Structure 1
Amino acid sequence: MKRAYISNKNKKIYKILLIHEIDSFHNEIKDLISVLNEGDEIIVYDVEEMNLSIRDLIATFESLRGKNIQINFINQLSIDLDTYLDVIQSALQIQKSYVAKKTKEGLKKARLKGKKNGRPKISQEKVKAIQYLYLSQNLPLRSISEKTDVSLGTVYKYVKKVKSEEIK
């Protein structure tokens, strides 16, 4: 069971949330922010009790900061909301950069090993068959897709090329 205590400017606790379900804290905190006033304070045992993703945590903290509502965590260092928010945003940016770097490195290694990224190209014979069936037979795109054994999106791509060449 998770708990959050909400107190007003006079440090009087006026609501205790007992949360039984994982998603309910997320919903409760949204509802709570809408009714709290400037100077109120939310006390939560641990930031993990909030069970929010990093993005949702940032959005929640920004909402609290916008209404000048404090949030304190009993089991964490006592730091102000702005500092906490800055640290989380910095960590998120570092993580995004790290993931992007590792992805690029992985793709580069795969290319060096001869692996090709992206969708495989279809043969010129299939491209000509698609164009023939579309221009000469006037078949619907779905039928062309089934006859040539390529996806409907691929058929559309090559039919679109034919149409654009006709316009020129």
Structure 2
Amino acid sequence: MKKVLYIKNNYPVPTSEQWKLLEMMDCDEVFVEGIDIGYPIQLEHALKNLTNKDVLLVYSLKVLLNLSNPESWFEKMSNKGIRLISVVEKFDLKKEPTFYIRYLSISKIINEISTERSEDTGRASSIDKQKIGRPNISPKKINMIRHLSLKERMSYRQISKACDVSLGTVSKYLNNIE
């Protein structure tokens, strides 16, 4: 059984604080995310070396939940049979063997609900003939924005007020020509 320590640099607490708590855990390897040592994603490198019954130690579950797409990481760990231990939450997969399955199920339900809500909003807006996003502006107004910037040398804010558009709209049409 191999023990690997995974630390995310300065998250959720300073790295030195994580290290103080975790250094006494007697680990075989240490991976610190956020410090460039040749591997783009330290967790991925750590998981490659782990097999069934190996242990991944983290300071807090927040470290893993803060990753982009934590579901895929938990799925990889589940498929490999990796035991997860979080020190702060006093969590041990050995005591909660259904954690991966429950987390992935709940995550799937949340994603389905979010997708449904997005689709419902899209359908409702098309039924109500509402437009979502930035309103279209006429080519005449676009030319006016460009003219005021290039010829009149007006600031974005002045152009925004003169053309009755947002600063974002002014920026959008001026950044495309500069």
TM normalised by structure 1 equals 0.50
Higher relative contact order (CA 8 A, sep 6+): 2
TM normalised by structure 2 equals 0.47
